[in-house]
């Protein structure tokens, strides 16, 4: 199972520890979480853009689901 780097970064930014992330996603090892965070911070502009795109999609999905136009 693949997990997006942005997901790991979001968990970390929300206060989850490395151990907490591993507990939430048992397929991960602590070294994988550290690698993902290192990648995220090395490519922060790209990751931030992905998170922004996700936020925009979530708003559009919510609007479509609620019948708003």
Sites in the chain below the pLDDT cut of 50: none
Tokens of residue 58, six digits:
């979530």
**Cβ atoms of 18 and 34 closer than 8 Å:** yes
pLDDT (0 to 100) of residue 62 = 65
Rounded to two decimals, what is the model's pTM?
0.73
pLDDT (0 to 100) of residue 59 = 72
Three-class secondary structure assignment of 7-31: HHHHHHHCCCCHHHHHHHCCCCCHH
pLDDT (0 to 100) of residue 41 = 94
pLDDT (0 to 100) of residue 50 = 83
pLDDT (0 to 100) of residue 63 = 75
Burial class (CB in 10 A: 0-12, 13-18, 19+), 7: middle
CA angle 64, 68, 69 (to 5 degrees): 95
């Amino acid at each position: 199972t693949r997990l997006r780097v942005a997901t790991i970064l979001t968990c970390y930014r929300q206060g989850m520890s490395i151990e907490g992330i591993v507990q939430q996603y048992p397929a991960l090892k602590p070294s994988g979480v550290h690698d993902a965070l290192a990648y995220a911070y090395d490519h922060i502009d790209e990751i931030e853009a992905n998170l922004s795109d996700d936020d925009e999609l979530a708003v559009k999905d919510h609007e479509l689901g609620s019948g708003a136009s």
